[in-house]
Structure 1
Amino acid sequence: MTSNSHVPARRLRVFDSTLRDGEQAPGNAMNPEQKLELALAIEATGVDTIESGFPSSSPSDFEATKLIAQALTTAKVATLNRAVREDIELAAEAGGIDHQVQIMATGSDVHLEHKRGLTRVEGLKEIIDSIKFARELGFTDITLGIEDASRGSDDMLRPLIEAGVEEGARTVALADTTGCLIPAEFGAQVARVRSWIPDDVILSTHCHQDLGLSLANALAGVEAGADEVQATLAGIGERAGNTPLEELAAVLLYKGEQLGMTSRLNTEKLYDAYLILSRIIGMSTPRNKAVFGDNAFATQAGIHQAGMLRNPVTYEYVEPHLFGRERGILIGRHSGRNVIRNMFDQMGLGVERELLDEIYDTYIAGRKDGTCIELGELREIITGRLRRAAEPVADQAELAVAAR
């Protein structure tokens, strides 16, 4: 592992888009009160910015922005807006001029031609006008958010970015909107953009999961000079989703020194926020999801359990308690006898081979349907079996006393 201890750590800014990009995906709709509840839980995780929504898209997003802007105390509110004066006016009305107003630019010829029906010149003009208008309203925290930047050519992006910064954008957000890049490609693009803008302008990443590379691309962007990552809880978002906030947090916790990065994230609060999100949108938890998955900190395989029972470090790199989770030793047909021996030891019992084999054959080996029991259930099984075994002895003793 390469050490970066001699390099001063940069603080990575974390921007949460759960309430906007996450919420706009099918099945994820939230009302303003629900957004407020979740925003407060997300704020407790230590993110720097929370995107409340797209105020001009619906009265619900407008109301949610008002509620959240009034309630947050440690995180900044952000809104997404088209490069249209009416959108920016509505954003100011909903969130005030102290929030971060993101103005969306069209970053590729594909989108200009097939989505917008605009020329490059027209796309540039609307950005210049919109940022200028935002400054006239009093906004000072302005983001130039470039949609489909990953498919934009340098000769299109550079004039757009330089004009936006010159007009007053203090953040440039590059979106891999279709999730089409691999880390080397996205990192190279971030490095080029970083060379075009002043050091005091924040460079942000917004990566999608279509190729399963959203986190890898975001990290490549950070290593190439990005200052901020936009992410969502559980990675929810359009199509396959976005950079998962909890996975980013895990990487920063365990690899932050290697990356030369720190953050304000409080990893122990992430699962609480996730549970609120799941309740609000009715989202089920996958078994194999990193950090939040049902099996993320659980094991059934006997070979793994043998090591885990001696010392969890054998198979546990990410520590559950640091993410508000608990370790699970689940007992099923792949578990073997060691876990029963270990339970005997914990209970202060000598290993009775006959009893051990009986419990294994009856309660574990026969679980062909793949179901498992937990350690607590195994303890109850052993206790119950020992109690039943002792009952005839007790009965005989009582008869002997009665006979006297």
Structure 2
Amino acid sequence: MPGVETRDPNRVIVFDTTLRDGEQAPGFSMNAETKVAMAGALRDLGVDVIEAGFAAASPGDAEAVRRVAGEVEGPVFCSLSRASEEDIRTAYGALQSTPKRRLHIFLSTSPIHRAAKLNLSAGEVLETAVRAVSFARTLFDDVEFSAEDAIRTEPDFLGDVMEAVADAGATTLNIPDTVGYSTPAEIGQVFAEIKRRVTPRHPDVVISAHCHNDLGMAVANTLSAVANGARQIEVAINGIGERAGNCALEEVVMALRTRADLYGVHTGVDTTKLVSISRLLSRLTDSPVVRNKAIVGMNAFAHEAGIHQHGMLADARTYEIMRPEDVGFRGTRLVLGKHSGRHAIAQRAESLGYRLTANTLGHVFAHFKKRADEIGEIDDSELLAIIQAVAADEGGRRVLAS
């Protein structure tokens, strides 16, 4: 059987391209060893398809695809390929060690790409796509076709191409927003139209979304595609990829999970491993994760503002729409700084063994604010020093927790 075996219409296939589209971006290059390490972590995360590389790009990339497919078991392994027999044969050779293999053919379809990049007419592009998919099906049961720059392609021609490659045997149809140009409303209409045209004759074909983040809408556009029939999402850990990156796996998966009431779909991802795989990629590529990164950033479940901390101490649901443990954090972090209020300071002091009287808390709070203005975040050792200094000023009186 080709591809990912699922008959659940509400199951979204997660196609991870961290090792291909992500790795080819400046600053994220990986060798075969790091690709194997990441592939193992992606397998443990529960992704369905791993795009291991672009075998025809270089001998090193072909070797990395061979090693990943040969040393990691579980997911479907995929290689990118141009619409040429030579590329297709190279990809087949790199993936021979795994029985679960996919070929991912791409060919530009937009007017600007046809003229400036391919120097082909629309008819020639369609013929090339059909010829490539037909040949690929002599070697692969599972063939994905991507219409590069699909969003800037004439809608009728895009539909013609997708129908033709489905007729030729493509099992997955990818509609990529290659340059991050689309908007949620627009891309939703594109996916709805392709689904309307293709699925009556090919009900088992999977329609896929691959969105770039040039305008900051990759996740939103991917969610719109899912709402309009996409059942595969192409993503990367930490959103790495060409230019501004790809749709971030951790963000779209948690959006689908958190708003299951809205989207009504699910994935096979073990979300408790999201933080650990994010940190692994950061270490392997020496690329830090920014503090305010959604889902996996250091500040994603951290609170400093006094009003927020008061709410969190009363009920975490006041300011957190997900549990930190669900993505791999140990818990919420209440950061003590100049924006913190008395409730958070009293709670942290008690956790350190000091139950402060109202009068003592007032003095500690005043000293705390002054010190926070000087150094920013107040850690436990700084807070203890403040409490002890106040206690000494009060004649050595210190109220310990019972």
TM-score of the superposition, structure 1-length normalised? 0.89
What does 1:99-138 correspond to in 2, within 5 Å? 99-136=101-138, 138=139
Query: Using the alignment, how far apart are the partners of 2:9 and 2:129 within structure 1?
Result: 34
2:225 corresponds to 1:221: yes
Q: Give the drift of 1:349.
A: 4.8
CA contact (8 A) 1:300 1:335 kept: yes
Query: Using the alignment, how far apart are the partners of 1:9 and 1:162 within structure 2?
Result: 21
What does 1:330-341 correspond to in 2, within 5 Å? 330-341=335-346
One-letter amino acid of the structure 1 residue matched with residue 343 of structure 2 = N
Question: Aligned pair in 2 of structure 1 residues 104, 343: CA closer, same or farther (>3 Å)?
Answer: closer
Long gaps (5+) in structure 1: 1-7, 394-404
Query: Using the alignment, how far apart are the partners of 2:133 and 2:42 within structure 1?
Result: 29
One-letter amino acid of the structure 1 residue matched with residue 117 of structure 2 = K
What does 1:249-398 correspond to in 2, within 5 Å? 249-325=253-329, 326-346=331-351, 349-368=354-373, 371-374=376-379, 376-377=380-381, 380-381=384-385, 384-385=388-389
Query: Using the alignment, how far apart are the partners of 2:102 and 2:111 within structure 1?
Result: 27
Query: Using the alignment, how far apart are the partners of 1:310 and 1:347 within structure 2?
Result: 20
One-letter amino acid of the structure 1 residue matched with residue 332 of structure 2 = R
2:190 maps to 189
Query: Using the alignment, how far apart are the partners of 2:215 and 2:395 within structure 1?
Result: 61
One-letter amino acid of the structure 2 residue matched with residue 203 of structure 1 = I
Determine helix, strand or coil for the equivalent of 2:132: helix
2:3 maps to none
Per-residue CA distance 1:158-188 (angstroms, 9 max, x = gap): 2211221111101100000111111110000
Determine helix, strand or coil for the equivalent of 2:373: coil
Q: What is the aligned-residue identity percentage?
A: 36
Determine helix, strand or coil for the equivalent of 1:286: coil
Question: Aligned pair in 2 of structure 1 residues 125, 45: CA closer, same or farther (>3 Å)?
Answer: same
Moved over 4 A (4+): 344-350, 382-393
One-letter amino acid of the structure 2 residue matched with residue 139 of structure 1 = F
TM-score of the superposition, structure 2-length normalised? 0.90
CA contact (8 A) 1:17 1:230 kept: yes
CA contact (8 A) 1:108 1:156 kept: no
Query: Using the alignment, how far apart are the partners of 1:259 and 1:392 within structure 2?
Result: 60
Q: Give the drift of 1:225.
A: 0.8
Q: Give the drift of 1:98.
A: 4.4
What does 1:20-35 correspond to in 2, within 5 Å? 20-35=20-35
Q: Give the drift of 1:350.
A: 4.7
What does 1:23-172 correspond to in 2, within 5 Å? 23-96=23-96, 98-136=100-138, 138-172=139-173
1:399 maps to none
Q: Give the drift of 1:279.
A: 0.5
Per-residue CA distance 1:49-97 (angstroms, 9 max, x = gap): 0100111111221111101111232211111110011111110110127
Long gaps (5+) in structure 2: 1-7, 398-402
Larger radius of gyration between Structure 1 and Structure 2:
1
Per-residue CA distance 1:375-401 (angstroms, 9 max, x = gap): x446634664588679979xxxxxxxx
Query: Using the alignment, how far apart are the partners of 1:98 and 1:217 within structure 2?
Result: 29
Query: Using the alignment, how far apart are the partners of 1:256 and 1:265 within structure 2?
Result: 14
Q: CA RMSD in A?
A: 2.2
1:177 maps to 178
Aligned residues: 385
One-letter amino acid of the structure 2 residue matched with residue 103 of structure 1 = I
